[in-house]
A and B are shown apart, each in its own frame.
Chain A
Amino acid sequence: MSEWWTYRLDSFLMFSPRTYARLLEQANADLWPLQPLAVALGLAALALAWRARSPLQQRLVWLLLAAAWLWVAWAFLHQRFMAINWAAGHVAWVFGAQGLALAWLGGVRGRLGWRKPGGFDTDRPVQATPVPDVARALGALLVLTSLLAWPWLGRLSGGTWSQAQSFAVMPDPTALATLGFLLLAPRPPWWLFVVPVLACALGGALAWVLRTPLAWLAPALAAGALVCAWSCRQGPSAAAMP
């Protein structure tokens, strides 16, 4: 792309705000009542992650998250958004890859287990680093924000309920929830943060060119999660633990 410096962000917007709003409305109508069901499952997953009991329950949490990413990749990005934005087809592949990575590492290998309160995960003695309380609190807060508050953002921004964006249906709240769950996990691989953070950045950029209020929120929350995760990784290593 020559003369790239002459392009603005809105140069890449190939649909109108009205068309995007109608896309959200139709997607929500087609997929109802998945939205409240997904929120309920997300809250249940948060409870399991917070209590950090059996390894099986922890694997189920990551499998649920993986399913959310795979579903968003297929049902929203590929089946709907790609009709007005050919780039969504490529993003769908990336979302699918993230889902598979979460399923493999967390669901199959059990490498993303949470620390049990008062002790370490005996399935993974090498991952003895405790999760700082601040990370657990921020992670839980981020999950709750994405599950419960995010659908309200559209209403607060002057939109309608029919355009609400929900976890496991739309990309932004799914990415934010995943960042929250990753903050709850002890030292997850850093590369699992990449796709959710980029998704939030893309979502924020789209909201900005569509002149949506609070377009900065998803990127800001993602950046905060990243800073928190990085800070936690600077904490005491496994070798230093008794």
Chain B
Amino acid sequence: MTLPTHTPPRRRLLQRALALAGAAVLPAQAQGQAGETAPPTRAIPRSGEALPLVGLGSWITFNVGNDAAAREACADVMQAFFGAGGRLIDSSPMYGSSQSVIGHGLRRGDALARVFAADKVWVSPASRGPAQMEASRGLWGVPRFDLLQVHNLLAWQGHLPVLLETKAAGRVRYVGITTSEGRRHDEMEQIMRSQPLDFVQLTYSLRDRRAEQRLLPLAQERGIAVIANRPFEQGSLLRQLQGHPLPTWAGEWQCTSWAQLALKFVIAHPAVTCAIPATTRVDHVRENLGTARGPLPDAAMRRRAAAHVEGLA
């Protein structure tokens, strides 16, 4: 099931046709390993490719160094993620050993063909970018990245032209930029208006809704896919909410926990293509993928949820 995005009708029809054609060519990618129903997806505006609404982040959680047991535990999380129908995994050279741990998990789970590999370039000056991207690709073990993003806009003026050339040469499929925790939204907006971006990544959560003001509407207007990072604010949002009872109306969304409510809030926004919660637990990654199923709140219900959480602060 692909949820609608805000794009012109004719273009949407073409994107859906492409998505259906893609699904017909690769039926295995729409089915989980255990034969589960494929998770809900949303189309990448630029191409119409369907992407599961919930992906997997790797900040801190996958940075376990050379701890063999911890690396295997991360591979277990990835296996459960793919088994539940997940595709997009996001990482960065800034995340310590996360890239090599992801590579280990991909090889162990034989998931190199299933993953939507999203990574970042994070180096200055920009002349060092190609070498870093190639090193990152080696750590992942993928033939090419699906998405490369300029991490936290570092040296973006130099990196973005190189990424666009790389895309034109077919060595990456999508290009984007990232920020987090509400920083540099002005600059993000300028870049989104002036550059041919496929993706932006930004922080969006039940408590941090700054992206609603300009960036999310702009992404819809410009046909840019949105990856929402920190949907749980690295756990601090859930820690704040745990002491409060779940509101009764959460049952309308089939939510039985604050984590499910918080994640549904994010992925329900029509501009969001994929949210990337990070976790070290197999049960949590399955719950996150499962959260995308079932009803999602509409705009009015989302406003109600945001107001409710604001009242708890």
Contact = CB atoms under 8 A, between A and B. Distances in A.
Interface of A: 2-3, 6, 11, 13-16, 19, 22-23, 26, 80, 83-86
B66 A83 contact: yes
Contacts of B280: 16
A14 B65 CA distance: 11
B186 to A, nearest CB: 10
Contacts, number: 50
8 contacts: A6-B182, A15-B60, A19-B64, A19-B65, A19-B67, A26-B66, A83-B65, A84-B63
Nearest to A2: B184
Contact of B96 (A2, A6, A80, A84): A84
B180 to A, nearest CB: 9
B67 A16 contact: no
B249 interface: no
B63 A3 contact: no
B184 A85 contact: no
B15 interface: no
Nearest to B100: A83
A15 B67 contact: no
A23 B183 contact: no
B91 interface: no
A3 B96 contact: no
Interface of B: 59-61, 63-67, 70, 94-97, 181-184, 280
A15 B280 CA distance: 12
A19 B95 contact: no
A14 B64 contact: no
Contacts of A86: 94, 96
Contacts of B96: 14-15, 83-86
Contact of B67 (A2, A6, A14, A22): A22
Among B65, B94, B280, the one with the most A-chain Cβ atoms within 10 Å of its Cβ is: B65
Contacts of B67: 19, 22-23, 26
A3 B61 CA distance: 25
Contacts of B63: 14-16, 19, 84
A153 to B, nearest CB: 23
A20 B15 CA distance: 46
B20 to A, nearest CB: 41
A84 B65 contact: yes
A21 B94 CA distance: 21
Contacts of A85: 96
A84 to B, nearest CB: 4
Nearest to B182: A6
B145 to A, nearest CB: 20
A19 B101 CA distance: 13
A3 B66 contact: no
B97 A83 contact: yes
Contacts of B181: 6, 11
A84 B183 contact: no
A38 B67 CA distance: 25
Q: Which 5 A-B pairs have the closest CB atoms?
A: A83-B65, A84-B65, A3-B183, A84-B96, A15-B63
A43 B66 CA distance: 33
Contacts of A14: 59-60, 63, 94-96
B60 to A, nearest CB: 6
The residue among B59, B63, B94 with the most chain A CB atoms within 10 A of its own CB is B63
Given A6-B183, A15-B60, A23 B65 contact: yes
B60 A80 contact: no
Nearest to A8: B181
A15 B58 CA distance: 11
Contacts of B61: 16
B152 to A, nearest CB: 9
A37 to B, nearest CB: 24
B183 A16 contact: no
A165 to B, nearest CB: 18
A79 B96 CA distance: 14
Contacts of A13: 60
A84 B94 contact: no
Contact of A19 (B70, B182, B183): B70
Contacts of A80: 65-66
Contacts of B184: 2-3
